[in-house]
Amino acid sequence: MRKAFVFGKFMPFHKGHEAMIHFALTKCDFLSVLICVSDKETMPAVLRKSWLDETFKHEQRVEILTYHYDENILPATSVSSASVSEVWAAVFKELFPGYSIVVTSEPYGDLVAGYMGIHHIAFDPERKIVPVSATMVRNHLAAAWPYLPDSVQATMVKKVVILGTESTGKTTLTGKLAKYFHAAAVMEAGRDIVEDSNDFSMDDLYAIATAHAHKIQTTDAPLLIIDTDIHITISYGEYAFGLTIQPEENIFTINKADLYLYLDNDVPYVQDGTRMDEAARNELDLSHRNVLEKYGVNYTVISGNWEERFEQAAGLINRLVNLRSQGANFSSVTHS
């Protein structure tokens, strides 16, 4: 049996890695993929492993392993070095006895294989087949987004939901924020199904819940700014009919966001011909807040004039995005 191994940081795992693993499988009967995890890195090993486990869950010839190491003992550098390769080769020789092939996209692959006395097979060292690198993903996530497997996108996407009663500027703010952050705007589905807020049924609310979830699920971008969510749809049913819709559980999962911004009703009411009257709008505001509290949704109230609302919202989203960037700004890698 020909055994081969691939090793890397996978910070994060991308389609270039995926292609290399598929290529390696054509050269062997069994493949081990080793995730090298330094004590200086902040990305959890379990997260990295979950990406590969999900991607290769149907491939029985692949095993995904993690190796934790101390950088004070094992060097961490992306530069090809004979001395570094010799140290790592000793580790790999102990981990993979009986293996005859190592597959990499790096010049140090020849060095590692030489010290191990095995064969190195290079895959796309110039990154022409899949033009992406982990550095590109970390530094330019939006541009690299199409090169991330579904398993990675699912954990890296950030969702921001704009909530509030009628005539508080949700739709306008959603659009402005999406443009400012070069994000994707997911507009509410309600206006596509119900023309007038004074005339709708429980069946309409179920249709809205399903359609809105579909919009979120099919929008492909690292940052989504979403106008309204399932809790507001539930609130309309409770306010208008005293009834609570019971959507499928996956609708709550799809709607779940990283940041909820609730627009206060402290701006002038504008009747566009399709909205409830001002008194009903303010009663609906209380209903929305009650539903959010009942479902345990932690939200931040955004108030003030239109400019102040934008500044408050943008500041909170900036913080969310920067926290993600810090989580992705890992130390220099030994293996891409």
pLDDT tens digits, residue range 212-247?
999 999 999 999 999 999 999 999 999 999 999 999
Percent of the chain with pLDDT over 90: 86
Sheet holding 101-104, edge to edge: 62-69, 30-38, 3-8, 101-104, 119-122
pLDDT band of residue 334 (cuts 50, 70, 90) is very low
In this prediction the pTM is 0.83
pLDDT at res. 330: 29
- Does the pLDDT at position 187 exceed 50? yes
Burial of 55 from C-beta contacts in 10 A (0-12 / 13-18 / 19+):
buried
pLDDT interval class at 78 (50, 70, 90): low
pLDDT of residue 328: 41
b/e sequence 176-189, b meaning 16+ C-beta within 10 Å: bbbeebebbbbbbb
pLDDT of residue 336: 38
Q: Which domains does the chain have, with CATH numbers?
A: 3-142 (3.40.50.620), 157-328 (3.40.50.300)
Supply the mean pLDDT for the chain: 93
- Report how far residue 197's alpha carbon sits from residue 153's, in angstroms, rounded to the nearest whole number: 35
Q: CA-CA distance, 31 to 53, in Å (whole number)?
A: 13
Least confident of 18-32, 162-176, 321-335: 321-335
Could you tell me the pLDDT band of residue 332, with boundaries at 50, 70 and 90? very low
Number of H helices, E strands in the chain: 14, 10
Instruction: Please answer whether residues 231 and 247 qualify as being in contact, where contact means their C-beta atoms are separated by less than 8 angstroms.
Output: no
Q: How confident is the model at residue 45 (pLDDT cuts 50, 70, 90)?
A: very high
